[in-house]
Amino acid sequence: MSKNEITKKTKVKKEPMATKSKTKKPVSTEKKIKVELAEEKDKFLRLFAEFENYKRRTLKERIELFSTANQDVIKSLLPVLDDFDRALLEMSKYDETELSKGVKLIKNKFQSTLEQKGLSVISIDKGDVFNADDHEAVTQIPAPNEDLKGKIIDVIEKGYKLGEKVIRFPKVVIGQ
């Protein structure tokens, strides 16, 4: 074999290697790009999901803030509603029908406005069974008869709900 033939064989052998190395490089670059693309897509999806969660959370916080503010205002107006009830009770003892009619109209208008905002009275009657989860016992007195032991004898203050949430429990006197 001559030197030229050996060089040709060597060149032939070198060329396929060179071609292989050139094709490997673009493939690895292509793989890198695909991996980077997948990483960026994943990053984008995570950021998008995080942003959606942020929007939902802030919306929920805004609604809670509004309802809490609404609750505080309505809760602060409950003593005024109680005062109307006490005033009407006292007026009924005297013959002040015209005055009590006017006060009753104002009280009803005030109460209906609060009811439009979601306020409702917790219904409770004398003789109902006392439940510590639903009532606030102010005091206990000896029951006038055996039937009223452990039951509500008197309602001191009405209880109220705002929507489904109790904002003031009814204050009651129970029989012992």
Across the range 101-123, mean pLDDT stands at 93
Q: For residue 80, what are the CA distances in angstroms to 15, 106, 136?
A: 98, 11, 20
Say if CB 134 and CB 158 are below 8 A apart: no
Which pLDDT value is given to residue 138? Answer: 92
Distance of CA 48 to the CA centre of its chain: 24
**Rounded distance between C-alpha atoms, residue 173 and residue 140, angstroms:** 6
Report CA dihedral (123, 124, 130, 132) to the nearest 10 degrees: 40
Confidence of residue 25 (pLDDT cuts 50, 70, 90): low
pLDDT band at 148 (very low <50, low <70, confident <90, very high): confident
- Considering the chain, what percentage of its residues have pLDDT values greater than 90? 50
Does the domain at residues 120-176 carry the CATH identifier 2.30.22.10? yes
Is the predicted pLDDT of residue 12 greater than 80, yes or no? no
Question: What's the rounded mean pLDDT across residues 64-80?
Answer: 87
Residue 18 has pLDDT above 80, yes or no: no
- Is residue 127 pLDDT above 90, yes or no? no
Domain boundaries, the chain: 120-176
* pTM, 2 dp: 0.62
